Amino acid sequence: MKERDELLDRLGLHEATLVHYDIRRANVRARTALNRFLFGRLDVKAVNGGSKTYRYPGLTDAGAEWVGQSVFLLEPGLSDRLIARLRELGIRHWARTVYVQ
């Protein structure tokens, strides 16, 4: 493991995970929950005649990179969180380890 890490350092590469998921269009509950998990959300509440905004960050705020439709590139710790959430929601998914600069 140490040799591999040293080689990756010399080559200027680091490990990442490419995650692709396939969610049915009709599964609105899971789609909404996953979008909030990935992209976060804003809630605006009425407070004393004004409004207050609450921001809940998603994985993209933590460093997940959106590659394309239903495809994300993540560091290993973030990919573990995404895969766990996909399993909780019963969403079919695939993950592959890749090395990026």
3-state secondary structure of 11: helix
Residue 79 per-residue DSSP state: H
Domain boundaries defined on the chain = 2-100
Residue 66 per-residue DSSP state: E
Cα distance between residue 87 and residue 70, in whole Å: 15
- Which neighbouring-strand residues pair with 92? 22
Q: What is the pLDDT along the chain (101 residues), one digit of tens a residue?
A: 788 778 878 888 889 999 999 998 899 999 999 999 999 999 999 988 899 999 999 999 999 999 999 999 999 899 999 999 999 999 999 999 999 88
Neighbours of 31 (CB within 10 A): 15
Q: Which of 77, 72, 75, 83 is nearest to 100 (CA)?
A: 75
